[in-house]
C-alpha cells in the first residue's frame, strides 16, 4: 500500500479508468480552494506579519507573484514532466505530452475525478512550495532574482523530486510513503531556504539588532488560515471523500494542536511566558510534520508526531539562529525542513497497524520502511541543496541576488515597488 497520489494508477493518461465520482470530485474541488487559500492569503499574511513594516508589501508581492508564475509554468510543461508517462525515462522524469493540456476535456479522468480537477489540485501544491522558501531570504532578495530563482527551482528541483515520489518515479516504486508532501514539499523547500539564507548572508544587523514581527495580528490571522487550509492539503490528498480523508483531517488537527501546546509550554518554562508567536509557530510545525503521515497514521501516532514536532522544531530554531547564526529569516528550515524529516521518518513507524496506523506497504517491516523513508529524505535534501546552490550562485553572478545595504535599510517596499504598506496620518 503506497500513497494514493504516487501510484502508477494515477498515470492512466487519457482513458477513463472509472466512472466520474461526483462526491470525490466535489471534495477535491473544495480541497483545491483550501490549499490555494493557504498561500493567498494564509501564508502571505503569516509571512508579511513576521517581517518588519518596511518589507510587508515585498513579501505579499512575492507570494502573489509566485502564485501567478507557477500557474503558467505548470500549464506550460511542469505538470506534464511530473505526471505524463515518460516511457523509458519514467523512473526519472515524465515527458511533455501534456504540456498546455492538448485535447483535454471534462470527460478525461484521473482515477474517478476529472483530470482538470487533478491538474488544479496538484498545481496548488506546486505554488505553495517555492512560496515557503520566501521565508529563508525575506527582506533582502531582489524581486527579479526571486522570480528567476522560483522559476528555475520549480523546474529543476521540484519537478524531478515530485515525479520520483508522486509521478510513478523510482522512489514511488521503492514504496516511499509521503501522503501530502512532507518530503516533496517541506523537506524540499526547507533545505532550499537554508541554502538561500547561507548564500545571501545575514540581514544587516542580524543577530545583534532585534527584528521582531511588525504585526502579530496579521501573523495569527495568517496562521489560522493555514490551519484551516491544511485540511484541504492533507484531507484532499486522499482524492476521495471517505473515511481516509476524514482520518487525514483528524490527525492533522491533533498534530497541530499538540505541536502548538508543546512549543508554548517549552517557551513558558524556558523564558517565563508563553508567546503568541510561539504557539502559532508550534502549530505550523505540527502541521508540517504530520503532512507525510496524515493518510497513514491513527490518532495516537498523530499525537506523538505533534508533540515531537513542537519539541524538536523549537530547539532546531534555537540551534540554527543562535548557535550557527544562520539568518533563515522566518525559520523555514527548522520548522518545515526539520518537521518534514521527522514526520517522514515517523511515518515508517506509526503507519504500522500495531501503532494504530492503516498499515505499511505489503511485505514491508517497520525497519525496512524507515530505511526507504530515510533514503527518500536524504536524496531529496541532497538534490535540493545542490541544485538550489547552483541556481543561486549562477543568478548572483548574472544579476546579483541581493539589494544593496542602503536599500535594505530603506526597505524593499519603497526600493523595489515604490509603495508602502502603511501611511502616516
Task: Please tell me the predicted confidence (pLDDT) of residue 59.
Answer: 98
Our CA angle for 278, 279, 282, nearest 5°, is 85
Cis peptide before 420 (omega within 30 of 0): no
Where does the pLDDT of residue 209 fall: very low under 50, low under 70, confident under 90, or very high at 90 and above?
very high
Measured CA to CA in angstroms, residue 342 lies from 183, 258, 288, 336, 421 at distances of: 10, 15, 10, 10, 37
Distances (CA, A) of 239 to 3, 112, 178, 363, 383: 11, 9, 14, 25, 28
Question: Distance (Å, rounded) from C-alpha 230 to C-alpha 135?
Answer: 19
Buried b (16+ CB within 10 A) or exposed e, 275-291: eebbbbbbbbbbbbbbb
Query: Which pLDDT belongs to residue 132?
Result: 98
Residue 9 scores a pLDDT above 80: no
State whether residue 402 is helix, strand or coil: strand
Nearest-angstrom CA–CA distance, 123 and 107: 20
Mean pLDDT computed over 324-337: 97
Is residue 374 within a helix (H) or strand (E), and if so which, with residue range?
Answer: helix 366-398
Residue 269: how many CB atoms within 10 A of its CB? 9
The pLDDT tens digits of the residues spanning 240-272 come to 999 999 999 999 999 999 999 999 999 999 999
For 165, other C-beta atoms within 10 Å of its C-beta total 29
Question: Can you give the pLDDT at residue 425?
Answer: 55
Whether the pLDDT of residue 7 is over 60: the answer is: no
Give me the mean pLDDT over the 107-126 stretch. Answer: 93
Confidence of residue 103 (pLDDT cuts 50, 70, 90): confident
Burial (0-12, 13-18, 19+ Cβ within 10 Å), 5: buried
pLDDT at site 17: 45
Listed range (4-18, 104-118, 122-136) with the worst mean pLDDT: 4-18
Residues 6+ apart with CB under 8 A from 200: 137, 140, 141, 392, 401, 402
Q: Which of 102-111, 364-373, 393-402 has the lowest mean pLDDT?
A: 102-111
Question: Which architecture does CATH list for 8-417?
Answer: Orthogonal Bundle (1.10)
Handedness of CA 52, 58, 286, 381 (dihedral sign): negative
> Is the pLDDT reported for residue 389 higher than 90?
yes
Asked if pLDDT for residue 46 goes beyond 70, the answer is yes
For the chain, give every domain's residue range. Answer: 8-417
C-beta neighbour count of 148 within 10 angstroms: 18
- What is the enclosing helix (H) or strand (E) of 109? strand 109-110
Contact (CB, 8 A) for 111 and 10: yes
Of the candidates 89, 155, 186, 145, which has an alpha carbon nearest to the alpha carbon of residue 387?
155
DSSP 8-state secondary structure symbol assigned to residue 320: I
Does 172 have pLDDT greater than 70? yes
The pLDDT value given to residue 256 = 98
Residue 110, pLDDT score: 87
Which has the minimum average pLDDT: 15-24, 113-122, 405-414?
15-24
Amino acid at each position: 500500500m503506497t500513497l494514493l497520489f504516487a501510484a502508477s494508477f494515477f498515470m492512466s493518461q487519457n482513458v477513463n479508468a472509472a466512472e466520474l465520482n461526483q462526491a470525490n470530485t466535489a471534495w477535491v474541488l473544495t480541497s483545491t480552494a483550501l490549499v490555494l487559500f493557504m498561500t493567498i492569503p494564509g501564508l502571505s499574511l503569516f509571512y508579511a506579519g513576521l517581517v518588519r513594516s518596511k518589507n510587508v508589501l515585498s513579501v505579499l508581492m512575492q507570494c502573489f507573484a509566485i502564485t501567478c508564475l507557477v500557474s503558467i509554468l505548470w500549464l506550460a510543461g511542469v505538470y506534464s514532466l511530473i505526471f505524463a508517462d515518460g516511457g523509458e525515462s519514467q523512473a526519472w522524469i515524465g515527458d511533455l505530452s501534456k504540456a498546455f493540456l492538448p485535447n483535454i476535456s471534462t470527460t478525461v479522468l484521473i482515477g474517478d475525478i476529472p483530470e482538470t480537477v487533478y491538474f488544479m489540485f496538484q498545481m496548488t501544491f506546486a505554488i505553495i512550495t517555492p512560496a515557503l522558501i520566501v521565508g529563508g531570504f525575506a527582506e533582502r532578495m531582489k524581486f527579479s532574482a526571486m522570480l528567476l530563482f522560483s522559476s528555475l527551482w520549480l523546474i529543476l528541483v521540484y519537478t524531478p523530486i515530485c515525479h520520483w515520489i508522486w509521478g510513478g518515479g523510482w522512489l514511488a516504486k521503492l514504496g516511499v510513503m509521503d501522503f501530502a508532501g512532507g518530503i516533496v514539499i517541506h523537506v524540499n523547500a526547507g533545505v532550499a531556504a537554508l541554502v538561500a539564507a547561507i548564500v545571501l548572508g545575514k540581514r544587516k544587523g542580524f543577530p545583534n539588532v532585534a527584528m521582531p514581527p511588525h504585526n502579530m495580528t496579521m501573523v495569527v490571522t495568517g496562521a489560522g488560515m493555514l490551519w484551516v487550509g491544511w485540511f484541504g492539503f492533507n484531507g484532499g490528498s486522499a482524492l476521495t471523500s471517505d473515511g481516509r480523508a476524514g482520518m487525514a483531517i483528524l490527525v492533522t488537527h491533533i498534530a497541530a494542536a499538540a505541536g502548538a501546546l508543546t512549543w508554548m509550554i517549552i517557551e513558558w518554562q524556558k523564558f517565563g511566558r508563553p508567546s503568541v508567536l510561539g504557539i502559532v509557530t508550534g502549530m505550523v510545525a505540527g502541521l508540517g510534520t504530520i503532512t507525510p503521515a496524515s493518510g497513514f497514521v491513527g490518532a495516537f501516532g498523530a499525537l506523538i508526531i505533534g508533540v515531537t514536532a513542537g519539541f524538536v522544531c523549537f530547539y532546531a530554531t534555537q540551534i540554527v539562529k543562535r548557535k550557527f547564526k544562520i539568518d533563515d529569516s522566518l525559520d523555514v528550515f527548522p520548522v518545515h525542513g526539520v518537521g518534514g524529516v521527522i514526520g517522514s521518518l515517523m511515518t515508517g513507524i506509526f503507519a504500522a497497524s500495531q501503532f494504530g496506523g492503516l498499515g505499511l506497504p505489503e511485505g514491508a517491516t517497520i525497519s525496512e520502511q524507515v530505511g526507504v523513508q530515510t533514503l527518500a529524505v536524504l536524496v531529496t535534501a541532497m538534490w535540493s541543496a545542490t541544485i538550489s546552490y547552483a541556481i543561486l550562485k549562477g543568478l548572483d553572478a548574472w544579476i546579483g541576488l541581493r539589494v544593496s545595504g542602503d536599500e535594505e535599510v530603506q526597505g524593499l517596499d519603497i526600493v523595489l515597488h515604490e509603495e508602502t504598506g502603511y501611511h502616516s496620518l
